[in-house]
């Protein structure tokens, strides 16, 4: 059996949408928050810039990722132009948090889990783990996927990618004779060519 490659990375149009945030003011973000805490948003975070808004959506998709190729629900992050009203459970409210920062750059974190049996590579899975907005001082506002099976986005502010994003490696453990090898790539959108 040949290597199965599963990629849930952003396409060129999505990267262009995120790149368009550079040079704008990031005013606020909103969404339905777990336990009314603004740092744990369920499914969709709406990001408001000075003259437009985008939605970061983290929703389940069925993917066959293990050695037996059994389908599991995996939360996959995507970016859309904002539209409609944000979902909220009956009797609950949307929480809005102010940011008021100039976007100097946008970073996209792509993680990889490569399932292997000895030297035989079986499944190579790449996905977007986080989207980060860097201000003019180098501080980052991160929107990070929670664990692989969860539809929450965790919002953190800090000085580096390692501080503001989750280390996914403890989530991906294989029973012998299988093993995972891990990778992480960080894309700075200001340095990517426009299409």
Does the structure show a pLDDT above 70 at 150?
Answer: yes
* pLDDT tens, position by position, 140-149: 999 999 887 8
pLDDT at 120 over 60: yes
Residue 194 pLDDT exceeds 80:
no
CA distance 113 to 139: 28
- Neighbour-count burial of 26, counting CB atoms closer than 10 A to its CB (0-12 exposed, 13-18 middle, 19+ buried): buried
Average pLDDT over residues 160-176: 89
Backbone angles phi, psi at 30, to 5 degrees: -145, 160
Q: Phi/psi at 122 (nearest 5 deg)?
A: -110, -60
pLDDT(128) > 50: yes
Give the per-residue pLDDT at 174. 85
H, E, C per residue of the chain: CCCEEEEECCCHHHHHHHHCCCCCEEEEEEECEHHHCCCEEECEEEEEECCCEEEEEEEEEEEECCCCCCEEEEEEEEEEECCCCCCCCCCCCCEEEEEEEECCEEEEEEEEEEEEECCEEEEEEEEEEEEEEECCCCCEEEEEECCCCCCEEEEEEECCHHHHCCCCHHHCCCCCCEEEEEEEEEEEHHHCCCC
Cβ atoms of residues 129 and 142 within 8 Å: no
CA–CA separation, 186 and 85 (whole Å): 31
Residue from 103, 94, 169, 112 nearest 132 by CA: 103
pLDDT at residue 17 is higher than 90: yes
Q: Give the pLDDT band of residue 2 (cuts 50, 70, 90).
A: confident
Q: What is the pLDDT of residue 138?
A: 96
pLDDT tens profile 65-93: 888 888 999 999 999 999 999 988 888 88
pLDDT band at 173 (very low <50, low <70, confident <90, very high): confident
Q: What percent of the chain has pLDDT over 70?
A: 96
Ranges of each domain in the chain: 4-191
Is 193 a residue whose pLDDT tops 80?
A: no
pLDDT confidence of residue 148: 79
φ and ψ at residue 3, rounded to 5 degrees: -60, 130
| Full-model pTM | 0.93
| 1 has a pLDDT exceeding 70 | no
Distance from C-alpha of 136 to C-alpha of 88, rounded to nearest angstrom: 33
Q: Smallest Cα–Cα separation from 15: which of 161, 181, 131, 180?
A: 131
pLDDT tens-digit series, residues 19-58: 999 999 999 999 999 776 778 899 999 999 999 999 999 9
């Amino acid at each position: 059996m040949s290597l199965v490659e599963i990629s849930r990375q952003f396409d060129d149009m999505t990267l262009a949408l995120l790149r368009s945030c550079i040079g704008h003011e990031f005013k606020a973000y909103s969404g339905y928050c777990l336990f009314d805490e603004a740092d744990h948003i369920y499914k969709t975070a709406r990001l408001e810039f000075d003259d437009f808004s985008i939605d970061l959506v983290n929703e389940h998709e069925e993917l066959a990722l293990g050695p037996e190729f059994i389908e599991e629900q995996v939360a996959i992050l995507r970016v859309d132009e904002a539209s409609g009203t944000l979902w909220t459970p009956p009797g609950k409210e949307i929480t809005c948090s102010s940011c008021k920062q100039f976007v100097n750059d946008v970073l996209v974190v792509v993680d990889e889990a490569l399932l292997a049996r000895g030297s035989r590579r079986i499944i190579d899975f790449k996905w977007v783990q986080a989207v980060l907005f860097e201000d003019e001082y180098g501080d980052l506002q991160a929107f990070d996927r929670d664990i692989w099976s969860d539809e929450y986005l965790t919002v953190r502010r800090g000085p580096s990618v390692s501080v503001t994003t989750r280390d996914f490696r403890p989530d991906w453990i294989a029973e012998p004779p299988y093993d995972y090898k891990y990778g992480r790539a960080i894309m700075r959108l200001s340095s990517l060519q426009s299409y």
